[in-house]
Chain A
Amino acid sequence: MVLIGVLLIMIGFVLRINSAVVVTISALVTGMIAGIPITSIITQFGEAFTTNRYMSILIVTLPVIGLLEKNGLQQQAAKIVSKIKAITVGRVLTMYLLIREAGAALGLNSLGGHPQTVRPLIAPMAEGAALSKYGKLPEKEQQEIRAHAAATDNIGLFFGEDIFVAVGAILLMNGFFEQNNIPADPISMALWGIPTAIFAFIVHAIRLRMFDKKLDKRLGSRGK
């Protein structure tokens, strides 16, 4: 019976209802099905919300990031990226993967992103590298290069960000363990993310190399 709450979350997400609303309804319904009186559910709600305030610690980083962005942080990052002297699609994207993952590990999630960086900068650079190497691109390859550019951004962000202590995921897990009386340490959690982060980088870099080879094979014969 109590799984109805989980089901509600799935339905809510499938119907694209606002997640904050879905989560709150699921919590209230699950509590009621379990036979907890409504006032006590609300009390528990407030208690848990207060205990978990530290999860929103990213708010303290906003003034820093905001001031730096106003003074050209993203432009500086773009400048570093555009200096990459890479002649292949794979190398452009591997460099971006490195910058994106390392940035996220330092808490600088805003350095990349699809609207801010991939569309205006990374995708055109990757396409440009292919263009100068192979000449005009067939649509199929052009689409593949763009999809790879977007995928690189996601992979760099996801496997980098959990190495930063103040990220929501780490704090969520730490809080969850604490409430269940299991001693945990957010710094150690972040550090133990490093092996997977390195592995993800290596695997994806190898795949980008293979992508280069594939492009060479398909388009190489066309010459300049």
Chain B
Amino acid sequence: MIFSVEMIYVLMGIIVLGCSLYIFTDRTNSRRLASGSFYLIYSVTLMFGKIIPPFYIGLMVIVMVLIIASGGLKKGEHVEESLAVKEERRKRLGGRLFLPAILIPILTLVGSKLLDGVKIGGKALLDPSNVTMVALGLACLTAIIVAMWMTRGTPTGAVKESRRLLESIGWAVLLPQLLATLGTIYTTAGVGTVVSDAVTAIIPEGSLFWIVVIFCLGMAIFTMIMGNAFAAFPIMAAGIAIPFLIKQFDANPNHIAAISMFAGYCGTLMTPMAANFNIVPAALLDLKDKNHVIKVQIPTALAVLVFNIILMYFLVSLGI
């Protein structure tokens, strides 16, 4: 193939590597060595994941987590440009600023539908094992070039800006990958089996409706307890979605996925555990009642949760 998934990972690795170099040399960052090493190790796992034996990748991940545990990452000080300067730049491009950003989803959709299976000189143009991901990577690359051209930016400038964003995401950048890893370990250890045995014991044999109800409620409740829908998904999917909905009732996994994550988000709207979304804003807005935002969100969350249950039930039972 001409464009493989690995190339996209190398591109990601190069961006992170560039950021780590800036962080290492940032004198305003009191933990520049620890923070820089974190991103350096991360970029190596991205670029060479296929080449380095998995045991060593596992060790590198543990080292990254140790860096987080031992005092975490720190940001450097960024000189905020004055509003006048930003306003000046905004005026130059105005509404056109949205163009490169909108290019990403459009090119991904077009690329993955039109270029799938296209061959040049007998070679597949896009990696057939993961067309969407390669299309997405190329779409982003195109958008980067368009954005640089429009803003008269340079590659180093682009890396500098990426670093600002990467630093503000911080350790959370690792979380989706770690949670997916957790899901794998749970599956091998048989956590899903335990959950599905419990479900079998509660639910009347073969009742699709009740399985959908338990699954969606389970997503919402687990999310409320853990404050994070990402962590709920592997448990509920391994325990209920795969053994019952997909294997027994032949449900379309894409429908299940789309709706289950939203059911989880309904939980996020109702829990103080999701502090960033529900508690921090209460403080930012000087609200007397720290749970005021949650109280306002509950009716919408419950209505959407019921809608999700009904939608999932109809999609599965009608076999769409």
Where the two chains meet, the residues of A that have a C-beta atom closer than 8 Å to any C-beta of B are 2-3, 5-6, 9-10, 13-14, 16, 18-21, 23-24, 26-27, 30-31, 33-34, 36, 39, 41-57, 59-73, 75-76, 79, 106-108, 110, 114-115, 118-119, 123, 143-144, 146-151, 153-155, 158-159, 162, 164-166, 168-177, 179-180, 182-193, 195-196, 199-200, 203-204, 207
Contacts and interface: CB of A to CB of B under 8 A. Distances in A.
A13 B226 contact: yes
B15 A59 contact: yes
Contacts of B98: 68, 73, 76, 108
Given A18-B171, A154-B269, A187-B112, A62 B162 contact: yes
Contacts of B255: 192
Contacts of A108: 98, 101
Q: Size band of the B side of the interface?
A: 35 or more
> Which one of B11, B173, B229, B258 has the highest number of Cβ atoms from chain A below 10 Å of its Cβ?
B258
Given A72-B90, A154-B293, A155-B269, A185 B180 contact: no
Contact of B161 (A69, A166, A171): A69
Interface stretch (B27-35, B118-126, B202-210, B259-267): B259-267
Interface of B: 5, 8-9, 11-12, 15-16, 45-46, 49-50, 53-62, 65, 68-69, 72, 83, 86-87, 89-95, 97-98, 100-102, 104-105, 108-109, 112, 130, 132-133, 136-137, 140-141, 143-144, 147-148, 151, 153, 157-162, 164-166, 171-191, 194, 225-231, 233-235, 237-238, 242, 246, 253-255, 257-262, 265, 268-269, 273, 275, 277-278, 280-282, 284-289, 292-293, 295-297, 299-300, 303-304, 307-308, 311
Given A13-B227, A67-B151, A199-B307, 19 more contacts: A2-B194, A18-B68, A30-B185, A30-B186, A31-B185, A48-B183, A54-B9, A59-B166, A61-B143, A63-B162, A66-B161, A68-B151, A147-B285, A147-B292, A147-B295, A168-B176, A169-B229, A189-B258, A196-B258
A28 to B, nearest CB: 8
21 contacts: A18-B69, A23-B175, A30-B185, A52-B176, A56-B176, A60-B12, A60-B141, A60-B144, A63-B161, A64-B140, A67-B157, A69-B161, A106-B102, A146-B286, A150-B281, A151-B269, A166-B136, A168-B175, A172-B179, A180-B238, A196-B259
B69 to A, nearest CB: 5
Nearest 5 CB-CB pairings of A with B: A66-B161, A72-B90, A46-B57, A46-B58, A34-B189
Given A34-B188, A60-B137, A147 B100 contact: no
Contact of B61 (A14, A45, A159, A193): A45
Contacts of B54: 43-47, 50
Given A150-B282, A185-B132, A189-B254, A62 B175 contact: no
A49 B179 CA distance: 9
B44 to A, nearest CB: 11
Contacts of A171: 176
Contacts of B46: 53, 56, 59
Give the dominant DSSP class at A's interface.
Answer: helix
- Listed residue (A71, A76, A162, A193) with the most chain B CB atoms within 10 angstroms of its CB: A71
A147 B284 CA distance: 11
A168 B231 CA distance: 12
Contact of B191 (A30, A39, A69): A30
A52 B15 CA distance: 18
Contacts of A204: 300
A180 B242 contact: yes
A123 to B, nearest CB: 6
Contact of B162 (A54, A66, A115): A66
Nearest to B157: A67
Given A18-B171, A64-B144, A48 B285 contact: no
B300 A49 contact: no
A106 B315 CA distance: 26
